[in-house]
């Protein structure tokens, strides 16, 4: 297990994954080669092993620790402007955002931007209405079939509990988001897939979702890949445990 402290990492969380886009370091190449047991050219296989993520000291981990709510708010902005195009957040209602991510008035305005199917009405028909605080944040697709059809038959997972459902939790999601790179020599990636050494088998259907300055943070924080990955990971951790700080 590799451990890191923030003292060894630049302020914007420059990570192994970012360095990988400029070319993998020798140690990472060795790890990747060993993990997938290369002997000659082969197609990346989902059954192969993956590189283990670095362990980071997240602000909210440990006794008497709480979330960095500026990071949570930025992370929600990353979710809305990047992740929400493909991924749902089915377990989070607009009311859950109040007091943490935004004010009640802001949450009401955000909810009203969505058309929510409701009913039946007195005429027995379903109808659409503006969203309200009690509604859950709508996903990008009406059903799983539509989601698969739009994503080369791959089903984008709901992100509400993604942190809890993955080994190494925050470390894994952060490493995955920053870990895209060219495949090592001898590995072939099928069309429509991308190489990421942190994903099982190395071949992932999700294109690299983040790019430097792809969004403009409302608080003026530079939107580097590592900053966006840190913030959206923090937000998704909060989304999986909104009661964390109360406990």
Average pLDDT over residues 63-74: 88
At 245 the pLDDT is 52
Those residues with Cβ within 8 angstroms of residue 127's Cβ, 6 or more apart along the chain or in another chain: 117, 118, 119, 120, 121
Q: What is the pLDDT of residue 10?
A: 37
Q: Are strands 203-204 and 194-195 parallel, antiparallel or unpaired?
A: antiparallel
Q: What are the pLDDT digits (tens) for 198-224? A: 999 899 999 999 999 999 999 999 999
Question: What pTM was computed for the model?
Answer: 0.77
Range among 6-15, 63-72, 76-85 with highest mean pLDDT value: 76-85
pLDDT at position 247: 52
Angle CA(216)–CA(221)–CA(225) in degrees, nearest 5?
70
What's the pLDDT score for residue 17? 41
% of the chain beyond a pLDDT of 90: 61
Containing 160, the helix (H) or strand (E) segment is none
Poorest-pLDDT segment among 44-48, 68-72, 156-160? 44-48
Compare 246 and 92 and report the one with higher pLDDT.
92
The pLDDT confidence band at residue 42, using thresholds 50, 70 and 90, is very low
Instruction: Tell me the DSSP string of 171-218.
Output: HHHHHHHH---PPPTTEE--TT-EE-TTSTTSEESS-----TTSS--T
pLDDT at 192: 87
Report CA 140 to chain centroid distance, whole Å.
15
Q: What is the mean pLDDT of residues 150-176?
A: 93
Q: What's the rounded Cα separation, in Å, for the pair 174 and 138?
A: 24
Whether pLDDT at 102 is above 50 = yes
Q: How confident is the model at residue 179 (pLDDT cuts 50, 70, 90)?
A: very high
């Amino acid at each position: 297990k590799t451990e890191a402290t923030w003292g060894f990492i630049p302020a914007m969380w420059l990570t192994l994954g970012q360095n990988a886009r400029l070319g993998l370091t020798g140690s990472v190449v060795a790890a990747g080669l060993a993990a997938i047991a290369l002997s000659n050219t082969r197609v990346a296989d989902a059954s192969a092993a993956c590189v283990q993520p670095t362990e980071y000291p997240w602000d909210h981990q440990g006794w008497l620790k709480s979330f960095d709510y500026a990071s949570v708010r930025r992370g929600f902005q990353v979710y809305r402007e990047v992740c929400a195009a493909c991924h749902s957040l089915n377990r989070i209602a607009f009311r859950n955002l109040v007091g943490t991510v935004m004010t009640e008035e802001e949450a009401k305005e955000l909810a009203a931007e969505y058309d929510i199917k409701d009913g039946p009405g007195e005429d027995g028909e379903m109808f659409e209405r503006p969203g309200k605080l009690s509604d859950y944040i709508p996903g990008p697709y009406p059903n799983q079939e539509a989601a698969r059809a739009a994503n080369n038959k791959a089903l984008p997972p709901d992100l509400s509990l993604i942190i809890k459902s993955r080994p190494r939790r925050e470390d894994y999601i952060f490493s995955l988001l920053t870990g895209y790179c060219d495949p090592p020599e001898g590995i072939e990636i099928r069309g429509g897939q991308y190489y990421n050494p942190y994903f099982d088998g190395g071949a992932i259907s999700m294109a690299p979702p983040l790019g430097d300055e792809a969004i403009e943070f409302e608080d003026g924080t530079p939107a580097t890949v590592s900053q966006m990955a840190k913030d959206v990971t923090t937000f998704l951790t909060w989304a999986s445990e909104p009661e964390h700080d109360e406990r």
